[in-house]
């Protein structure tokens, strides 16, 4: 088995697949892509998008618990995908370009080169917009990229009534992904999915068509223990990774002649950096790891989109088939904002994952709105629980530790109720199952939120990029890890701040940009 390559990508997820595919377009280099989970090739449990909810807390999920939360749901689990394609093989495939304002804020805050004008060409490069959607050929949309993006258009009479109800309360039907940021409006989602209902994930789009490339090696089932390091030069150099073979019985080292790219995500990425001696020095010493680089920002700045739930019994039969069961997005931003601070996903299925333990009633024939705080101000951490790579890290999102997030979520429940009370939904809305009409004050609503909230599964920003002199930014704007040579990070962890929409397509864009930096030698 070959163990020496030009480039080693640790993590075959949403960004890692893009990096591997783009680098291996050069036939003169040999690329190795490493994924701890199994392949998704031929696996309908992964490829059939309509089955995505089966993957939560399954064998395809690292299923990370969170640390006890003072103001949040301590029972909550963070789903992180254990399969080729990462979370793009595990999520509901909602596809958004980041709002222009989010990217421009990144650039203004020290991530030079990441403004919207500089990033949007890479969204165009990765996507093909299909299905004749009214906005698919809007100026600047991609036409020949590997990732298929189309508009959900399922026959869902409750969803159609919901859009009319939104209009009645001042949230007009508004096209998404046109280049204009939607602060207040609603519509059917765009998804990265093929017309046959299969995912257009990072793995299916970037890797499956290229598995026969002689210069691309894909290792699935190999878990990285730590990065390997050469300390003989003036600066430490990352030379690859030490892996555990699929049977877990022996170690294997893979070497990168040129560069190693870490694409393990916002939880496992900082974990692997810290296991390799790159992280907050005091914490590393506490767990018995020799400090290679004192990087205080590794594992800091954890951001997410916390999500609530308002669920109703439906008065008519809900659909029995769907593209992915969560088909409409609603933005209800506060007045005067340029980006939304409140978003809803509409689900045409029961979503009682976090309410049954408290005895809230449920039903098989329900629909729900899930308000989420798109610009959450609460920030948390990822820390090691030990120096053993087998052990899960300590994930502490510190949900609702900032008053802003509480206020937005309480408003979200009230807006959901306002939408449900609109005339267009009169024939659909039955009993409010959760939180229930008995909860009406701010205090009652937040107590419900605190106990039962979930997440949209968007942990990000834990190895953020920033200016060279920003000690809390472990990564440069060209995604190079400060203090070492030969290592870049490309995944959602490098976002300085979490964007105000679902981040999957932006994570693919980060992978595209990483490959471009490497190929240009910057």
Interval 248-275: pLDDT, tens? 888 999 999 999 999 999 999 999 999 9
- The verdict on whether omega for the bond into residue 181 sits within 30 degrees of 0, i.e. cis, is no
Instruction: Collect all residues with Cβ–Cβ distance below 8 Å to 522 and sequence separation of at least 6.
Output: 478
Instruction: Collect all residues with Cβ–Cβ distance below 8 Å to 62 and sequence separation of at least 6.
Output: 79, 80, 81, 82, 267, 268, 392
For residues 152 and 93, the answer to whether their CB atoms sit within 8 Å is no
- In three-state secondary structure terms, 434 is strand
Confidence of residue 139 (pLDDT cuts 50, 70, 90): very low
For residues 489 and 479, the answer to whether their CB atoms sit within 8 Å is yes
Pick the range with the lowest mean pLDDT from 143-147, 184-188, 451-455.
143-147
- In three-state secondary structure terms, 210 is helix
According to DSSP, the residues that pair with 330 across neighbouring strands are 186, 344
Instruction: Collect all residues with Cβ–Cβ distance below 8 Å to 409 and sequence separation of at least 6.
Output: 306, 308, 371, 373, 400, 446, 449, 453
- In order of 203, 322, 340, the CA distances from 470 in angstroms are 34, 46, 28
197-242 tens-digit pLDDT: 999 999 999 999 999 999 999 999 999 999 999 999 999 999 999 9
Residue ranges of E strands in 87-133: 127-129
Phi, psi at 346, each rounded to 5°: -95, 125
What is the reported pLDDT for 132?
42
For residues 402 and 72, the answer to whether their CB atoms sit within 8 Å is no
For residues 114 and 475, the answer to whether their CB atoms sit within 8 Å is no
452-474 tens-digit pLDDT: 999 999 999 999 999 999 999 99
CB hemisphere CA count around 456 (13 angstroms)? 34
What's the chain's length in residues?
Answer: 522
More confident residue, 137 or 38: 38
Could you count the other beta carbons within 10 Å of the beta carbon of residue 235? 11
CB hemisphere CA count around 51 (13 angstroms)? 12
Q: How big is the CA angle at 493 (ends 490 and 499), to the nearest 5 degrees? A: 110
Confidence of residue 136 (pLDDT cuts 50, 70, 90): very low
What is the reported pLDDT for 287?
98
The encoded tokens of residue 239 equal 């030379």
DSSP H helices, 469-503, are none
Phi, psi at 37, each rounded to 5°: -85, -175
463-515 tens-digit pLDDT: 999 999 999 999 999 999 999 999 999 999 999 999 999 999 999 999 999 99
Report the sign of the C-alpha dihedral through residues 352, 356, 358, 360, in that order: positive
Could you count the other beta carbons within 10 Å of the beta carbon of residue 117? 10
Rounded CA separation 484/476 (Å): 12
- In three-state secondary structure terms, 449 is helix
Q: Is the pLDDT of residue 42 over 80?
A: yes
Give the catalytic positions in this structure: 458
For residues 79 and 60, the answer to whether their CB atoms sit within 8 Å is no
Burial label for 211, CB within 10 Å (0-12, 13-18, 19+), is: exposed
Residue ranges of E strands in 122-206: 127-129, 147-151, 184-188, 190-191
Instruction: Using a pLDDT cut of 90, give the percent of the chain over it.
Output: 94
Q: Which of 494, 284, 488, 242 is nearest to 383 (CA)?
A: 284
For residues 409 and 371, the answer to whether their CB atoms sit within 8 Å is yes
What is the reported pLDDT for 188?
96
According to DSSP, the residues that pair with 242 across neighbouring strands are 226, 253
Q: Is the pLDDT of residue 23 over 60?
A: yes
Rounded CA separation 270/499 (Å): 20
Strands 190-191 and 147-151: antiparallel
Confidence of residue 140 (pLDDT cuts 50, 70, 90): low
420-434 tens-digit pLDDT: 999 999 999 999 999
Structural element, H or E, at residue 226: strand 223-230
Rounded CA separation 260/262 (Å): 7
Domains of the chain, each with CATH number or no CATH: 4-46+201-302+460-520 (3.50.50.60), 51-77+134-198+305-378+396-455 (3.30.410.40)
Mean pLDDT of 50-64: 95
- HEC states along 36-66? CCCCCCCCHHHHEHHHHHHHCCCCCECCEEC
Residue ranges of E strands in 92-188: 127-129, 147-151, 184-188
For residues 326 and 502, the answer to whether their CB atoms sit within 8 Å is no
Mean pLDDT for the chain overall: 96
- In three-state secondary structure terms, 92 is coil
Which conformational region is residue 42 in: left (phi greater than 0), alpha (psi within -120 to 50 degrees), or beta? left
Strands 237-244 and 251-262: antiparallel
Place of tokens 């765009």: 190
What is the reported pLDDT for 131?
53
Instruction: Using a pLDDT cut of 70, give the percent of the chain over it.
Output: 98
Q: Is the pLDDT of residue 130 over 60?
A: yes
């Amino acid at each position: 088995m070959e163990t020496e390559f030009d480039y080693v990508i640790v993590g075959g997820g949403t960004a890692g697949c893009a990096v591997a595919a783009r680098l291996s377009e050069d036939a003169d280099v040999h690329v190795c892509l490493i994924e701890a989970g199994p392949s998704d090739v031929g696996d309908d449990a992964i490829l059939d998008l309509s089955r995505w909810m089966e993957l939560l807390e399954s064998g395809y999920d690292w299923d990370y618990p969170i640390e006890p939360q003072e103001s949040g749901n301590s029972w909550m689990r963070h789903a992180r995908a254990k399969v080729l394609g990462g979370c793009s093989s595990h999520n509901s495939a909602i596809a958004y370009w980041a709002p222009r304002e989010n990217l421009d804020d990144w650039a203004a805050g020290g991530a030079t080169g990441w403004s919207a004008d500089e990033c949007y060409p890479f969204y165009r490069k990765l996507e093909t917009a299909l299905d004749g959607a009214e906005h698919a050929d809007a100026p600047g949309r991609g036409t020949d990229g590997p990732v298929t993006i189309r508009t959900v258009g399922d026959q869902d009479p409750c969803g159609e009534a919901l859009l009319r109800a939104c209009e009645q309360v001042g949230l007009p039907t508004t096209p998404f992904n046109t280049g204009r940021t939607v602060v207040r409006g609603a519509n059917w989602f765009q998804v990265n999915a093929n017309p046959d209902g299969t995912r257009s994930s990072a793995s299916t789009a970037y890797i499956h068509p290229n598995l026969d490339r002689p210069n691309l090696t894909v290792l699935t089932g190999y878990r990285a223990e730590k990065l390997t390091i050469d300390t003989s030069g003036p600066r430490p150099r990352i030379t690859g990774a030490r892996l555990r073979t699929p049977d877990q019985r022996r170690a294997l080292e893979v070497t990168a002649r040129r560069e190693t790219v870490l694409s393990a995500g916002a939880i496992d990425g900082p974990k692997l950096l810290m296991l390799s001696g790159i992280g907050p020095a005091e914490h590393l010493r506490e767990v018995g790891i020799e400090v290679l680089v004192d990087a205080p920002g590794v594992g800091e700045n954890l951001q997410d989109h916390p999500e609530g739930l308002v669920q109703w019994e439906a008065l008519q039969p809900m659909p029995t088939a769907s593209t992915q069961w969560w088909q409409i997005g609603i933005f209800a931003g506060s007045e005067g904002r340029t980006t939304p601070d409140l978003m809803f996903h509409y689900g045409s299925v029961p979503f009682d994952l976090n309410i049954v333990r408290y005895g809230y009633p449920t039903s098989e024939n329900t629909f729900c709105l899930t308000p989420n705080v798109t610009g959450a101000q609460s920030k948390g951490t990822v820390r090691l629980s030990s120096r053993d790579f087998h052990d899960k890290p300590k994930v502490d999102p510190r949900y609702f530790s900032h008053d802003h997030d509480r206020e937005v979520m309480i408003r979200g429940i009230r807006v959901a109720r306002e939408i449900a009370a609109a005339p267009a939904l009169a024939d659909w809305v039955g009993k409010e199952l959760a939180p229930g009409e008995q909860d009406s004050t701010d205090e009652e609503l937040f107590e419900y939120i605190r106990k039962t909230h979930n997440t949209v599964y968007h942990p990000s920003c834990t190895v953020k990029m920033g200016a060279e002199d920003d000690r809390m930014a472990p990564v440069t704007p060209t995604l190079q890890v400060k203090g070492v040579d030969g290592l870049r990070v490309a995944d959602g962890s490098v976002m300085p701040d979490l964007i105000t929409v679902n981040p999957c397509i932006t994570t693919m864009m980060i992978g595209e940009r990483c490959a471009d930096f490497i190929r240009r030698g910057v």
